[in-house]
Amino acid sequence: MSKKIALVTGGAGFIGSHLCDRLIKEGFKVICLDNLITGSLKNIEHLLRDKNFIFIRHDITKFIQIKERLDYVLHFASIASPKDYLRLPIQTLKSGALGTHNCLGLAKAKKAKFMLASTSEVYGDPLVHPQKESYWGNVNPVGVRGCYDESKRFAEALVMAYHRVHNIDIRIARIFNTYGPRMRSDDGRVIPNFILQALNNNPLTVYGRGKHTRSFCYITDLIEGIFRLMFVKINEPINLGNPQEISILELARLIIKLTQAKSKIVFKPIPEDDPQRRQPDIIKAKRLLKWSVKVSLEEGLKETIHWFSLLKALS
Ligand code: UDP
**CATH code (residue 257):** 3.90.25.10
> Could you list the residue range(s) of the whole structural domain that residue 35 is in?
5-178+218-241+280-293
Q: Strand 113-119's sheet: what is its strand order?
A: 53-57, 29-34, 5-9, 72-75, 113-119, 170-175, 237-240
Same domain for 202 and 173, yes or no, is no
Q: Which atom of ligand 1 is nearest to the CA of 193?
A: 8
Whether residue 131 contacts residue 123, with contact meaning beta carbons closer than 8 Å, is answered with yes
Same domain for 113 and 17, yes or no, is yes
Cα-Cα-Cα-Cα torsion 238, 62, 219, 179, nearest 10 degrees, comes to -100
Residue 28 forms part of a structural domain: yes
Ligand 1 pocket: which of 190, 247, 250, 253 to mutate (most atoms within 8 A of CB) = 190
Same domain for 9 and 39, yes or no, is yes
Same domain for 30 and 130, yes or no, is yes
CA distance linking residue 115 with residue 169, whole number of Å: 9
Residue 183 forms part of a structural domain: no
User: By 3-state DSSP, what share of the chain in percent is helix, strand and coil, each rounded to 5?
Assistant: 40, 20, 40
Same domain for 120 and 206, yes or no, is no
Whether residue 173 contacts residue 115, with contact meaning beta carbons closer than 8 Å, is answered with yes
In the structure, which protein residues have their CB atom closer than 6 angstroms to any atom of ligand 1? 82, 177, 188-190, 193, 205-207, 212, 214, 248, 271, 274
204, HSE (Cβ side, Cα atoms, 13 Å): 28
Which whole-number Å values give the CA distances from 284 to 6, 70, 123, 292, in the listed order? 25, 28, 17, 11
Minimal-distance CA residue to ligand 1 atom 24:
274
Same domain for 135 and 41, yes or no, is yes
Own/partner contacts of 109-113, CB < 8 Å, gap of 24 or more, are: 110/66, 110/69, 110/70, 110/73, 112/7, 112/70, 112/71, 112/72, 112/73, 113/71, 113/72, 113/73, 113/168, 113/169, 113/170, 113/171, 113/230
Q: How many domains does the chain have?
A: 2
What CATH code is carried by the domain that includes residue 110?
3.40.50.720
Residue 73 forms part of a structural domain: yes
DSSP assignments along 180-217, one per residue: -TT--TTS--HHHHHHHHHHTTPPEEEETTS--EEE-E
Cα–ligand 1 centroid distance for 190 (angstroms): 5
Residue-level pLDDT at 1: 73
Same domain for 142 and 83, yes or no, is yes
Single-letter amino acid code for the residue at 208: G
CA distance linking residue 168 with residue 170, whole number of Å: 6
Single-letter amino acid code for the residue at 253: R
Residue 126 forms part of a structural domain: yes
Residue 225 forms part of a structural domain: yes
Same domain for 272 and 222, yes or no, is no
Same domain for 256 and 119, yes or no, is no
Residue 42 forms part of a structural domain: yes
Same domain for 201 and 149, yes or no, is no
Residue-level pLDDT at 315: 82
Spatial neighbors of 165 by CB under 8 A, at least 6 apart, are: none
Residue 38 forms part of a structural domain: yes
Beta bridge partners of 5: 29
Residue of 123, 148, 162, 218 marked active site: 148
Q: Are strands 245-247 and 213-215 parallel, antiparallel or unpaired?
A: antiparallel
Ligand 1 pocket: which of 248, 251, 266 to mutate (most atoms within 8 A of CB) = 248
Examine the residue annotation and report whether 148 is marked as an active-site residue of this protein.
yes
Residue-level pLDDT at 75: 98
Residue-level pLDDT at 43: 98
CA distance linking residue 152 with residue 147, whole number of Å: 9
Same domain for 271 and 147, yes or no, is no
Per-residue pLDDT of the chain in tens (315 residues, 90 and over written 9) = 789 999 999 999 999 999 999 999 999 999 999 999 999 999 999 999 999 999 999 999 999 999 999 999 999 999 999 999 999 999 999 999 999 999 999 999 999 999 999 999 999 999 999 999 999 999 999 999 999 999 999 999 999 999 999 999 999 999 999 999 999 999 999 999 999 999 999 999 999 999 999 999 999 999 999 999 999 999 999 999 999 999 999 999 999 999 999 999 999 999 999 999 999 999 999 999 999 999 999 999 999 999 999 998 888
Residue 184 forms part of a structural domain: no
Beta bridge partners of 245: 215
Same domain for 200 and 223, yes or no, is no
